Amino acid sequence: QIHQQEYLVNGELKKWNGNITEVFSTISSTAEYAPTLLGSIPDMGEPEAMDALDAAVGAYNQGQGVWPTMKVKDRIECMEAFVKKMEAKREEVVKLLMWEIGKSLPDSQKEFDRTVEYIYDTIEDYKQLDRDSAKFQKHDGVYAHIRRGPLGVVLCLGPYNYPLNETFALLIPAIIMGNTTVFKPAKHGVLLITPLLEAFQSSFPKGVVNILFGRGRAVAAPIMKTGKVDVLALIGNSKSANALQDQHPKSNRLRLVLGLEAKNPAIILPDADLDLTINECLAGTLSFNGQRCTALKVVYIHEDIKDEFLKRFSEKVDALKFGNPWDDGAKLTPLPEPGKPAYIQELLDDAKTKGARVKNKKGGKQSDNYIWPAVLYPVTKDMRVYEEEQFGPIIPILSFKDIEEPLNDMAESNYGQQVSLFGKDVYTLSPLIDTLANLVCRVNLNSSCQRGPDVYPFTGRKDSAQSTLSVHDALRSFSVRTFVAFKDN
């Protein structure tokens, strides 16, 4: 068990003596089902939040040569020191990823390794950015030395489904660009920050990274109220993002770097390669039990191939293996949120009363911490599962005759992250790709939706995102172009 009793403020690991919140895993460690106590975290409030914010503001305004104006090579040295210390913690962090959020062993290892790679790639991209900014420009007799500068204080809040990778995809570029930060880990996937606290404390100057624990409304809301936050960096839901944004007294001054909900569709045309399509849809809908903002959350299948698709897809879903994250070949793993099976059941009940049927034999079967993926057909737009992000193992399927049907739905949708398009005929696909690219930000051809490779832009239209992430884009999202100009006289 890990009883987290320290938090990082102004370069100091401070002791916490107040209230705590226990952290449980929905994975049972006994034969008779019982959630496992993993440890506890401090239940912090406004005083600690203000200390952390003051430290970040202070570190940003410390004067010349300190973090925001420090030499690029020195900032890079700090980041390199951090990532090296982080690499040494792989085993501990991977184990916590499995217990805290139920992510399978291969996926937990991938999340860790991908994050380390992301940090190294960010360092390289930052070096390139610095090389580019060394060049002078001259237009109409005015010389300019254009560079990128930090924005100020960043409040960083990550999600539970990628508590390491996505949180760090915000935090690392924010830090390296010279901003100072206050960071609060997600509710699930919080203890895995413990093995990294010392690395943060010893690698960066005081006040650059401040780490708090507790509930978002207890620590993040008071921070926003002060109006001293320059960037809200959050991956999660738009309700939390909007609530925090509203707390800021001058929210028009706030830069938003947000990754929010999505309802990514798969559109399957009649000439699609069904073997490939079924495999891609399986991964797209059910990797990490559908708990990905990039998951396929609705499948549009052409009428002509609907029956064959439903039959073969359902069989494949039922053949998946459920197990604990460390079990060999387990593709389906316990859901980390205790109330999730009941919520999924509610969505299924709602859909069934409105005419949908679960097409696979095991669909909807519940155990203590799981509900078997349900292939649901025919789904209609009045069903909750069509509207709500669900973030779980339901696969809602709609059939269509005319391609305008899914296109109209996408145009009406509040979301616009990605789409997967399955088909072969290039003359059909080509104009469709152009149309789809204006509705979402990534069109995946004959493949499921995903965020990676992390060098590619990750963003969305409408309510799905603000600003762009990727190794390259995130450095730009957390900075502003500034320049020195002088005349040729």
Residues forming the site for ligand G3H (CB under 6 A): 161-162, 166, 292-294, 450-452
Q: Which is nearer to ligand G3H, 62 or 285 (CB)?
A: 285
Structure-token pair, residue 135: 């060049």
What are the backbone angles phi and psi of residue 14, rounded to the nearest 5°? -90, 150
Q: Which is nearer to ligand G3H, 450 or 477 (CB)?
A: 450
Q: What residue has token string 């493949």?
A: 447
CB of 193 to ligand G3H, least distance (A): 18
Is residue 445 a contact partner of residue 268, using CB atoms and an 8 Å limit? no
CB of 294 to ligand G3H, least distance (A): 4
CB of 450 to ligand G3H, least distance (A): 4
CB of 292 to ligand G3H, least distance (A): 4
Neighbours of 136 (CB within 10 A): 10
CB of 196 to ligand G3H, least distance (A): 20
Q: Which is nearer to ligand G3H, 199 or 296 (CB)?
A: 296
User: Of how many residues is the chain composed?
Assistant: 489
CB of 1 to ligand G3H, least distance (A): 28
Whole-angstrom distance between the N-terminal and C-terminal Cα of the chain? 69
What are the backbone angles phi and psi of residue 144, rounded to the nearest 5°? -140, 135
Q: Which is nearer to ligand G3H, 223 or 465 (CB)?
A: 465
319 Cβ contact list (under 8 Å, min separation 6): none
Q: Which is nearer to ligand G3H, 228 or 442 (CB)?
A: 442
Q: Which is nearer to ligand G3H, 359 or 451 (CB)?
A: 451
CB of 140 to ligand G3H, least distance (A): 44
DSSP state of 251: G
CB of 418 to ligand G3H, least distance (A): 9
- Distance, C-alpha 145 to centroid of its chain: 35
Structure-token pair, residue 186: 């997600």
CB of 188 to ligand G3H, least distance (A): 13
Q: Which is nearer to ligand G3H, 294 or 333 (CB)?
A: 294
CA 254 to CA 224: how far, in whole Å?
Answer: 10
Q: Which is nearer to ligand G3H, 62 or 450 (CB)?
A: 450
Q: Which one, of 211, 8, 213, 176, lies nearest residue 81 by Cα? A: 176
Amino acid at 246: D
Q: Which is nearer to ligand G3H, 108 or 161 (CB)?
A: 161
The SS3 assignment for 316 reads: helix
Structure-token pair, residue 93: 């962090």
Q: Which one, of 204, 206, 209, lies nearest residue 79 by Cα? A: 204
What are the backbone angles phi and psi of residue 186, rounded to the nearest 5°? -70, 165
Do the strands 142-150 and 479-487 form a parallel or antiparallel pair, or are they unpaired?
Answer: antiparallel
Is residue 415 a contact partner of residue 258, using CB atoms and an 8 Å limit? no
Beta strands in 86-162 (DSSP E): 136-139, 142-150, 153-157
Is-cis flag, bond preceding 42, omega within 30? no
Q: What would the DSSP string read from start to end of 270-328?
A: TT--HHHHHHHHHHHHHGGGG-STTSEEEEEEEGGGHHHHHHHHHHHHHTSPB--TTST
CB of 465 to ligand G3H, least distance (A): 11
Q: Which is nearer to ligand G3H, 162 or 200 (CB)?
A: 162
Neighbours of 381 (CB within 10 A): 10
